[in-house]
Structure 1
Amino acid sequence: MSRRSFAQLGWGLLLGVAFVVMAAPGAWAQTSTGSIRGYVTDSSGTPVAGARVVAVNIATSAAREVPTQSNGFYALLGLVPAEYDVTARQIGMAPQKIRVRVLIGEVFPLDFKLAASAVQIEAVSVVAAAGVEMRTSEIATNVTQQQIERLPTASRNFLDLAALAPGVTISDDRINSVSRTFTAGGQSANTVNIFVDGTSLKNDLTGGGVTGQDASKGNPFPRSAIQEYRVISQNFKAEYQKASSAIITATTKSGGNEWHGNALFGYQNKDLVALDSLQRKAGITTKPDYTRSLASLSLGGPIQRDRLFFFASYEGNYQNRTSLVHFPTPAAGFPDLDTVNIKTYNGNFGSPFRETMVFGKLNYTVNPKSSAELSFSTRHETDVRDFGDRPHNCPEDMCAFSEAVNFRQDISIGQFRYNRFAGAWLNETKVDYSRFRRQPSPNDPGVPARVYAYRDTSGNMTNNFIGSNLSIQDFTQRRVGLRDDLTHSSGGEHVIKMGASLDFVAYDVFKGNDETPRFAYRDSVNGHSYKFRNPYELKYGTGNATLNKNNQEVGAYVQDDWSPTPRLTINVGVRWDFESKMMNYDYVTPQNVVDTVTRYRDSMPTRLDLSRY
């Protein structure tokens, strides 16, 4: 069982201080939202206290209102990334309205200068403001909804566009690939993390940074459900956890007052894919059969206008490819090897991949000061793979189709979020449940495995595998997470955010390694002649392959974005994480195993250290 999450057993402390000189006002991080802040002054530049600043979501008509402070400062926190009409009003002054687009994780700086007026009039509309590149202590790149919709990628994996961020690399979309991960900062994929609507997609039991992606050619989340995301490659703040190189925080689409939908179908076959340089160098001239069909449907709209909205999406990723099994012809002189008829296992065999992803979401505007959101996503996939030659993950030089693995993965996430706004305060509460399951097992179980090591007619030694795959594995992680974040803006100088999380995690692991008997055959071993008549080695695993453990993960942080001047922001943050039982320190080796190891220790090639058992 591999361990690659950020938090470690025991006490952990992370203290980060970042300084940045800025040409525009500073920004503070939000896990899946954005913000607007600025100053309201009169035509002479004098601050206007008590003015009303209202932001109205164009899609849902949801309104947020805050008053300006004594220095004219205001802050609209926790805004869903979208377009807003922002209006500033004060009695005796002409109101002003500006349309802006708020991006995830960013602050849009928006100042108003109101002119005196004898009577209250309608707001004066200003041409929509263009997106502003914010400068913060974070090194980040925003991938917008327009980029997601208009920049094509053959696989429709939304992570492909993370390569727009400097220093971020996405693994190639190759026909024979079995993983699609991203890396940053020269570190491995285990050091990254992805948050979708604030929920982490990291798995404590498996590697790759994003659950499933280290062993899947599929997509981690429906692209049609992602509205936009932010890639933070350096200097991410204390509110993020379980990462040391890069963070991706994404927000999903929501329904609005107008119906909207999308349908897409993509198709690719071998005629649309060229042989790469490595294949040509290896002398491969014929392309294997291959097709990929991508289907996507989405629909969103109102259930109750201005109050309750829904959005749903479906994506299917269906791939058919073939892998060549070509056992070399054995050299003559071994009649017992000839009876195996190993060449009868040759041929092109199908390697189907199937992935289905579904996402649904309800948004409810409770009142002008609070909102609620309920969402659910599921991902199911199967992949028949790991046969053919070594580049196709065969453990030997060549593997028969009977050795194929059916690699199954099921990922389900449900969450409820409730946000409450009151003046300069924002409280964000989230409850989530996730279930990650990985279940690789033999596609053709029950056939004893046989490995034949022989020289072919050219004199080359080869290892060749027929029979069932050796192992059955099942990794399941279930998590119930509670999180609360509190943000307060003070006079335009301080934006203080603090939060705590508590996760209850259960791990159910089955690792039936080598439960398929494996018989190894050779001509001779260490001077002993076998002539492929009898196996010289039997490898077989047995015993209790089950592990069931519970774990509690606690995290807390506090951070402050302090702007002593309009051109300087200092970010100070501290984070603490604790886990109760990630490591299985309670395991005790069964006495019968200890007795067996003790009895046969002296006859083993290398004496065992019994203190380990």
Structure 2
Amino acid sequence: MLRHRFLWLVCVTLLGLPVSVNAQTTTGTVRGYVKDQNGAAVADAAIQARDTATGALRTATSHADGSYVLPGLRPATYELSIRQIGFGPQRKVLTVQIGATLSVDFTLQAGAVELQAVTVEGAPAIEMRTSEVATNVTTEQIQQLPSSSRNFLDLAGLAPGVTVTEDRINSGAGFRTFSAGAQSANNVNLFIDGASLKNDLTGGGVVGQDASRGNPFPRNAIQEYRVVTQNFKAEYQNASSAIITATTRSGSNQWSGNAFVGYQDKGLLALDTFQIKDKNANPAAFKKPDYSRVLSGFSLGGPISRDRLFFFGSYEGNYQNRAQTVNMAVPTGFTALDSVNLGQFNGHVTSPFRETLLFGKLSYTAGQHSSLELSVNNRHETDVRDFGGQVADQAAVNYRQDIGLAILKHRYAGGSWLNEASVSYQRFRRNPSPDVVNLPAREFQNGTTTGCCSTIGVIGSNLSTQDFTQKGPSIRDDLTYTGWHAAGDHVVKVGVNVDFISYDVIKRNSETPHFFYTDTLPRTLPGDTAPRILAYDYRSPYQLVWQFGAPGLTTTNNKIGAYLQDDWSPSRRLTLNLGIRWDYESHMLNYNYVTPQNVRDTIRLYNSQLQFPIDTTQYFTNGSQRDRFLGAFQPRVGFSYSLDENNTTVLFGGAGIFYDRSLFDISVDETLKLRRPEYSVLFADPDSAPHAGEVAWNNSYLTTDTTVLKSLIASSPGSLGEVWLISNNAKVPKSTQWNIGIRHAFGSLVASVGYAGVRGYDQLVFNWANFSWRNYGTDSSSCCLGGSPFHGFTNILYTTSSGRTWYDALQVQINRAYRRTASGFGWGAGLTFTNATRAVSGVDVPGDQFAFPNVQFIPKHPANDEKSHVTANWIMDLPVLAGLQFSGLINLGSGPLQDISGRFDPRNWRPGGFTLPQKSFPLLPGAWAYRNVDLRLRKDFPAFSGGSMAVTADLFNAFNYQNFGCTYGGTTPNCVVSDPRRLQVGAEYNF
């Protein structure tokens, strides 16, 4: 009851605040000092910032010490002007970037003659005075750097220490995610216009990115974004690793638009090493896998009412046809198998992926003090996949996703106060299901007289249907006050967010009856003195596996977050960023879960037989033993100190605590593993009468009719559930982070070098109670002691908060923002170098939730990630060839630690791994094991009839470097981890 009253109080408090716009996560700040020609402070000067695209105005007044602050500025180009009686007015044109705080000082000259404006239009002002380790990805980089699938997450790799999964052509599902700091993608977060897109249910960190090759948001709707890998401020929630905060495009006072198309097919792709090997071995039979992709889109923005109401809308489509090769090696001499005709499924089969992204925004400027914004976006995708090899396309899954987000935001600024808030609604649905329905699954295997079995082929419907839905409204309010000047200048921010989320989860795993066929099978049942060799010869199945039971779980989760942040400048050179955040969730895990009586009875009766006996006081609950976590207090401290008056050289650093969350899917399985047990029915061979524990086969059983299947399993005792025990004292994952560094401005070029440290704690990990290592730590060590099933259950699993990670890195960045001069020439470039050590304990790799058989056998060991990585990017106009622009991305790495046969040796958890031999790269011979160079040429043609045309050519992996992998079990690679050279051609029309 107290908890509900607390939630009500928070809601009433929020509704009492002015409803406003643009959460602090999406805006920038300009602050500085006004002085006269003698260096004396100038008070009461009027500072005005005018958005050059929309005409929107913001004003501030300098204080007694000459300081001023303009917080909450929408990322845009501004004309900043200042006036004071007795001094000549001044103007500067600058670009404010998302999340950035710019220091802009004015030196006024006595007199009344207006000075000529200092113009730096089109080039972002340089951010020097931040304690964050952050990288801004600019509009020019988003639009002009090569990107294979237009996924805007691709460019997150420009930030130090960030790993982005590659876009692969024919490599199955693909996970388009990003990660950092030796933690998994589950620990990141993405903010779009201040709204969190955290995936609470499953992996990937961001809604829609779990097992998806899709783009979380239309790239042509993103204006810019900021990747923060260290020391992000207290206004950001639900991330113990890196975050991305993005702002979307808005309409302006001039109508403009863009339409584009990009195309790629198999004729524009090179072969990799292993495809060439296959072609040379059998040139007559070799066929290049089918592939085609069309990327298309358009955008339109402009004024509905000049200086008042603006519209922007965009569409992007990603339409791919990939090929998967089905290759079943069908044995001969079996009449029953011949009648199935598995060979008909062999060959290259199309795997279509379709994604549609829509975005629309209305922006309204009510006046100098207030503005309103409404945006809506939708993502829909389907992906027919998960077949190939021995699995027929008939058994494919159709991976469907629908994601919608609506945001209403209002801003009010007056005097020393700025209030920003948003009301949003989000709906995320993840729905993989069989592409072909109502067919029983049939798996054909090769058997032997001593064991079973290797798969020949799989046909029928895919086994499972899942339907995850995460939806609900969110309210956020951020209040900023700039009028406090005790012992210096303060920018004080306080904010609250409340999310009312509902989770609807349906997991019909193994819903399709799964029948297994083989030729020969040894079987030993109770009463048998020796294995019986059974000759099925594919005439009938030897086993059915099927799950049945209530498949769903529905609940609600109320999230509350609050923070206080003070950006305090005791002097002009020193800024301290002091903040604290607190978060709470009412239902992150299933706190009301009641341990079933049969689980209690079994464990109490046979606890001594478990390899790791269960502490029943910690793992049994009657629905009241699991307390909500109220201790997520997260202090965050940062500083920046300028070594000179002009902010040319700045020391920076910080430290903080960052809480994340555990996936709700864990709680789902805690319930469903018991509610929806797995049934196994053994069939007698066609030539023998059933023994005890066997059922005689009848062709009517080969069905998906649940009435028939229920009758069948009722006659068999083979029902087994799995026990998942979540600790009543389960902790919330978190990290501690600290960094220190120095940055220096060489004109328009900024270089920084720093150290970053991250320690991850309390990752939830499942252990097996019924298994252990045999003779652990000795030469005779092997797996495993114990066994399955265990007294009516397949396994007994229990959680510990034992997962840990370590990250220590040297990070170097050099950046020069793209700038185009009046003559039409421009260039920009960047270089990032990371040298890091990463380690993990309690699990094999970061993000793994299972420690087989127990965390105590997985001590600290290096993470399977590369040590060194370099990323370079550039955009360059070529004045000699009018209208031609050349851009590119270079990625070089020492290569991830590769697995070999000793990887899981419990005597030596420094994996028996190695880094592949380093390969030459121009100018750096013998330096890098991983190499990739992407190039882009763009040709703009002269404008005509108010518009202009451009053609583009993107060459990915331009030098066709072969980056090898797949070495588990040996030292010879048998696959590549990146695609070979490929060309993409495109065209654009702009007006």
Task: Name the structure 1 match of 2:743.
Answer: none
My pick for the range that moved more, 582-591 or 550-559, is 582-591
Alpha-carbon distance, 1:113 to partner? 1.1
Task: Name the structure 2 match of 1:417.
Answer: 409
User: What amino acid is the match of 2:192?
Assistant: V
> Helix, strand or coil: the match of 1:101?
strand
Contact 2:24 2:478 in 1 (8 A): no
Q: Map of 1:12-51 to 2, 5 A cutoff?
A: 30-51=24-45
User: What amino acid is the match of 1:312?
Assistant: G
Distance in 1 (alpha carbons) for counterparts of 2:594 and 2:24: 45
- Give the alignment partner of residue 170 of structure 1, picking from 144, 164, 167: 164
Q: Map of 1:220-235 to 2, 5 A cutoff?
A: 220-235=216-231
Contact 1:98 1:125 in 2 (8 A): yes
Task: Name the structure 1 match of 2:54.
Answer: 60
Task: Name the structure 2 match of 1:17.
Answer: none
Contact 1:30 1:104 in 2 (8 A): no
Contact 1:441 1:471 in 2 (8 A): yes
User: What amino acid is the match of 1:487?
Assistant: T
Distance in 2 (alpha carbons) for counterparts of 1:181 and 1:298: 25
- Give the alignment partner of residue 558 of structure 2, picking from 552, 556, 564: 552
Q: Map of 1:219-368 to 2, 5 A cutoff?
A: 219-277=215-273, 279=275, 286-330=287-331, 332-368=332-368
Return closer, same or farther for 1:549/1:39 CA change in 2, 3 Å cut-off: same
Task: Name the structure 2 match of 1:453.
Answer: 445
Task: Name the structure 1 match of 2:211.
Answer: 215
Distance in 2 (alpha carbons) for counterparts of 1:504 and 1:30: 21
Task: Name the structure 2 match of 1:525.
Answer: 522
Question: How large is the RMSD of aligned CA atoms in angstroms?
Answer: 2.7
Distance in 2 (alpha carbons) for counterparts of 1:218 and 1:601: 41
Provide the aligned length of Structure 1 versus Structure 2.
571
Alpha-carbon distance, 1:587 to partner? 4.5
Q: Map of 1:414-563 to 2, 5 A cutoff?
A: 414-454=406-446, 461-489=454-482, 490-491=484-485, 493-522=489-518, 523-526=520-523, 527-529=532-534, 530-563=536-569
Distance in 2 (alpha carbons) for counterparts of 1:164 and 1:468: 42
Alpha-carbon distance, 1:354 to partner? 0.7
Task: Name the structure 1 match of 2:791.
Answer: 607
Contact 2:24 2:194 in 1 (8 A): no
Task: Name the structure 2 match of 1:8.
Answer: none
Alpha-carbon distance, 1:44 to partner? 1.0
Once the two structures are superposed, what CA deviation does each residue of 1:342-392 show, in whole Å capped at 9, x if it has no partner? 112212221111111110001111110111110000000111111112xxx
Q: Map of 1:163-202 to 2, 5 A cutoff?
A: 163-177=157-171, 178=173, 179-202=175-198
Once the two structures are superposed, what CA deviation does each residue of 1:428-474 show, in whole Å capped at 9, x if it has no partner? 11100000001111000000001111169xx9943421110011111
> Helix, strand or coil: the match of 2:142?
helix
> Helix, strand or coil: the match of 1:31?
helix
Distance in 2 (alpha carbons) for counterparts of 1:219 and 1:39: 42
Distance in 2 (alpha carbons) for counterparts of 1:311 and 1:528: 71
Return closer, same or farther for 1:466/1:257 CA change in 2, 3 Å cut-off: same
- Give the alignment partner of residue 124 of structure 1, picking from 111, 116, 135: 116
Distance in 1 (alpha carbons) for counterparts of 2:120 and 2:719: 82
> Helix, strand or coil: the match of 2:537?
coil
Distance in 1 (alpha carbons) for counterparts of 2:119 and 2:466: 59
Alpha-carbon distance, 1:280 to partner? 5.0
Alpha-carbon distance, 1:194 to partner? 0.6
Task: Name the structure 2 match of 1:575.
Answer: 581
Task: Name the structure 2 match of 1:92.
Answer: 86
Task: Name the structure 2 match of 1:11.
Answer: none
Distance in 1 (alpha carbons) for counterparts of 2:277 and 2:178: 27
User: What amino acid is the match of 1:547?
Assistant: L
Contact 2:351 2:384 in 1 (8 A): yes
Once the two structures are superposed, what CA deviation does each residue of 1:12-34 show, in whole Å capped at 9, x if it has no partner? xxxxxxxxxxxxxxxxx940111
Distance in 2 (alpha carbons) for counterparts of 1:290 and 1:271: 9
Contact 1:601 1:607 in 2 (8 A): no
Contact 1:561 1:571 in 2 (8 A): yes
Alpha-carbon distance, 1:126 to partner? 1.7
Contact 2:67 2:489 in 1 (8 A): no
* TM-score, normalised with respect to structure 1: 0.88
> Helix, strand or coil: the match of 1:146?
helix
- Give the alignment partner of residue 391 of structure 2, picking from 399, 414, 417: 399
Task: Name the structure 2 match of 1:392.
Answer: none
Distance in 2 (alpha carbons) for counterparts of 1:280 and 1:306: 60
Return closer, same or farther for 1:77/1:142 CA change in 2, 3 Å cut-off: same
> Helix, strand or coil: the match of 1:498?
strand
Contact 2:103 2:127 in 1 (8 A): no
Contact 2:234 2:564 in 1 (8 A): yes
Once the two structures are superposed, what CA deviation does each residue of 1:190-215 show, in whole Å capped at 9, x if it has no partner? 11111010011112112101111122
Contact 1:153 1:160 in 2 (8 A): yes
Distance in 2 (alpha carbons) for counterparts of 1:399 and 1:73: 68
Alpha-carbon distance, 1:601 to partner? 9.6
Return closer, same or farther for 1:308/1:532 CA change in 2, 3 Å cut-off: same
Mark the runs of 5 or more structure 2 residues left unpaired by the alignment. Answer: 1-22, 281-285, 524-531, 599-673, 679-715, 721-787, 799-991
Mark the runs of 5 or more structure 1 residues left unpaired by the alignment. Answer: 1-28, 390-397
Alpha-carbon distance, 1:150 to partner? 1.3
User: What amino acid is the match of 1:484?
Assistant: D
Distance in 2 (alpha carbons) for counterparts of 1:289 and 1:474: 31
Alpha-carbon distance, 1:47 to partner? 1.0
Contact 2:325 2:346 in 1 (8 A): yes
Return closer, same or farther for 1:225/1:601 CA change in 2, 3 Å cut-off: closer
Return closer, same or farther for 1:278/1:231 CA change in 2, 3 Å cut-off: farther
Contact 1:361 1:374 in 2 (8 A): yes
Return closer, same or farther for 1:533/1:359 CA change in 2, 3 Å cut-off: same
Alpha-carbon distance, 1:586 to partner? 3.3
Once the two structures are superposed, what CA deviation does each residue of 1:522-558 show, in whole Å capped at 9, x if it has no partner? 2213334033222121111111111111111111111
Q: Map of 1:375-386 to 2, 5 A cutoff?
A: 375-386=375-386
Distance in 2 (alpha carbons) for counterparts of 1:362 and 1:278: 51
My pick for the range that moved more, 407-416 or 516-525, is 516-525
My pick for the range that moved more, 281-290 or 300-309, is 281-290
Alpha-carbon distance, 1:341 to partner? 1.9
Percent same amino acid at aligned positions? 56
Contact 1:87 1:123 in 2 (8 A): no
Return closer, same or farther for 1:147/1:388 CA change in 2, 3 Å cut-off: same
Return closer, same or farther for 1:275/1:612 CA change in 2, 3 Å cut-off: closer
Distance in 2 (alpha carbons) for counterparts of 1:486 and 1:210: 27
My pick for the range that moved more, 522-531 or 400-409, is 522-531
Contact 2:48 2:82 in 1 (8 A): yes
> Helix, strand or coil: the match of 1:388?
coil
Return closer, same or farther for 1:407/1:259 CA change in 2, 3 Å cut-off: same
Contact 1:306 1:365 in 2 (8 A): yes
Alpha-carbon distance, 1:218 to partner? 1.6
**Which gives a bigger RCO, structure 1 or 2 (Cα 8 Å, sep 6+)?**
1
> Helix, strand or coil: the match of 2:117?
strand
User: What amino acid is the match of 1:54?
Assistant: Q
> Helix, strand or coil: the match of 2:210?
helix
Alpha-carbon distance, 1:476 to partner? 0.7
Contact 2:330 2:456 in 1 (8 A): no
